[in-house]
Amino acid sequence: NNLSSKTHGMPYKVSPNYDNYTQHEKLTEIRKRRNVVVYERSPENYNNTTLFFYHGAGGTYKQFKSQISHLLRLGYRVVTCDMFAHGKSKCPARPENYMFTFEQYCYDALRLFDRYSVNNHNVLIGHSYGTSLCTLVYNERQSKVKKLILISGGGPFALAPEDFSLFSLPASLLSCFKPLILKVFKEVCFHSPVKKSSVPNSELLSIEIGNLQQVMRGQKWDEGDEAYHALINCPVLLLVGRHDKFIPLADEMTMNLVISQSVLHVLEGGHMLPIDCSDEVNDIITSFLINDLDVHSKLHENTILKKPQEEVT
């Protein structure tokens, strides 16, 4: 008998393909003059919880592909987007500099949350720059957010532009060096050579160099200091790579101390943990979502530093 369409007399049901992203993307005017590509999908076994993903500066939401597919299969609804001027979210031909400030991206993040949250069972997941967006959305919408997951976000410090970084150079000069910048960026973001080679350049640096320069110059958030982060009153999962060249481990440990209901996992990866350590990140996030937080073990027992004083200093 041919069982390709029936099994034991019952219609055969093909499992959903959660790796297909394009058909669930929609170009959306999130705010006036700010069109972004939103990815929203509810699984057939929806468990009444929505996960909002916020990616980092320069990237796209597809940096979370492994987590999105994994968590959809577990029954979680997923909402995310390519930030304004990133990935498929194009910006006007002649954008104004104010469009790239942290304040403007915060308004976008809040509008995304307000438009797509359907109940009070929401979890915010951010990577790098996106962790600051998550923190702000939480503080503005506390009653609707149950948990936070902050990946490679750093310490509880106010955001400020870097005065003497590569992005202080003229935009025209930066554009000439884009291939070199991309190569160096890829080298320092990953610890796993295999994972590094598997990531398309378009997903790692998805924004025009001149626009990225404005994003870096506009990352000013005076309110996001230690006192602000100490107000977080929900379970928080902190993930950091031991080989992260952007985020000092000491900063992440400070964040762990400041947020009372947080637990920190230190993984053998670089800055791009969602890709670098995708399987381990998926397992830790899954456990965090389904279990209560053990606040008595601030640093996860499987990742306790062998020589914490040497690591921190």
Residue 184 per-residue DSSP state: H
Catalytic residue among 117, 271, 276, 278: 271
Please check whether residue 110 is in contact with residue 84, taking contact to mean a CB–CB distance below 8 angstroms.
no
Task: Give the integer Cα–Cα distance in Å for 189 and 118.
Answer: 35
Task: Please say if 121 is a catalytic residue.
Answer: no
In angstroms, the Cα distances linking 174 to 58, 134, 249 are 14, 30, 30
Strand partners, 122: 50, 145
Residue 83 per-residue DSSP state: P
Residue 242 per-residue DSSP state: T
Catalytic residue among 82, 108, 244, 276: 244
Task: Give the integer Cα–Cα distance in Å for 89 and 36.
Answer: 4
Task: Please say if 244 is a catalytic residue.
Answer: yes
Catalytic residue among 128, 132, 152, 206: 128
Please check whether residue 49 is in contact with residue 76, taking contact to mean a CB–CB distance below 8 angstroms.
yes
Task: Please say if 271 is a catalytic residue.
Answer: yes
Alpha helices per DSSP H over the chain:
65-73, 102-116, 129-140, 171-176, 178-189, 193-198, 201-204, 209-217, 226-230, 249-258, 273-276, 278-290, 308-312
Cα dihedral angle (22, 25, 26, 28), rounded to 10 degrees?
-130
DSSP for 38-70 reads EEEE--TT--S-EEEEE--TT--GGGGHHHHHH
Task: Give the integer Cα–Cα distance in Å for 83 and 158.
Answer: 21
Which residues belong to the active site? 128, 244, 271
